[in-house]
Amino acid sequence: MDKLPTPPQWPMRFLRRIIKRQYLEEIEGDMEERFQEDVERYGLQKARRLYSWDSIKLFHPVLLKKVGGDHRLNQLGMFQYHLAFVLRRLRRRKVYSLTSIIGLSVGLACFYGVFTWWQYLQDYDGFHHEVEEIHAIRASGKNGVDAFTGLAAPLLSAELLQTTFPSVEAATYTAFFFNEKKIKVAYEQQTFYEEGSIMVSDSGFFKVFDFPIVSGDASTPLHAPHQVVLSEPIAVKLFGSADPI
């Protein structure tokens, strides 16, 4: 097996005296690797001249050992050195670098997605002042031979809870009516169709939940039959800039 050509020894002996130890190993390895590439490209003599010239170019305040006195750290020079080092590594190991970057990107994207989902679960309905005291009733039973569990309970459960358990300060029920088609909303001459659902509840809804009332008396909504509470976008569609109350 042929012996690899060797670079001149004096540049590296000199660099070992003046370059900081934490940089020396990387510099020595990079210069050796570059020397072998230059030998194949330019020949031994020119490769040795380039090797000596590269060692001279390493006279940089960031890399040199302190001789004495007050030497301030050159942040820009250190950044330039590390940037050049990283770019050189990326060029030499393209496949490995690309694989690492893609893996890191996918990992960060997955972490961000999971974190966003977790944050959404933590903040869901978190604007209610007493969110820790709000609980939902789950009903479980059997429908023939099939067992079921869900957020469902008889309509009288809210009233029964308040009369049976003094610790229950307020209770309410909600029922949603869905329509596969758009829901027709009409008032006088205004008619339009809206996607979504209609929720039915009682006067205890605004005692349990802190949804802000933009217009109207916050103490009386849903106290009588045929009363409705409109979201602000629906109210604007029906009444425009006029006061719906």
Is residue 69 predicted with pLDDT exceeding 50? no
Mean pLDDT of 74-79: 71
- Reduced to 3 DSSP states, what percent helix, strand and coil does the chain have, rounded to the nearest 5? 45, 15, 40
Mean pLDDT of 187-205: 77
pLDDT for position 175: 77
- Record the pTM: 0.44
What value does the CA radius of gyration of the chain take, rounded to a whole number of Å? 37
Q: Are 186 and 173 in contact (CB under 8 A)?
A: no
Residues 10-58 pLDDT 10s: 888 888 887 887 877 888 888 888 888 888 888 888 888 888 888 877 7
Is residue 73 predicted with pLDDT exceeding 60? no
pLDDT for position 113: 94
Domain ranges of the chain: 9-92, 93-124, 131-239
For the chain, give the mean pLDDT: 79
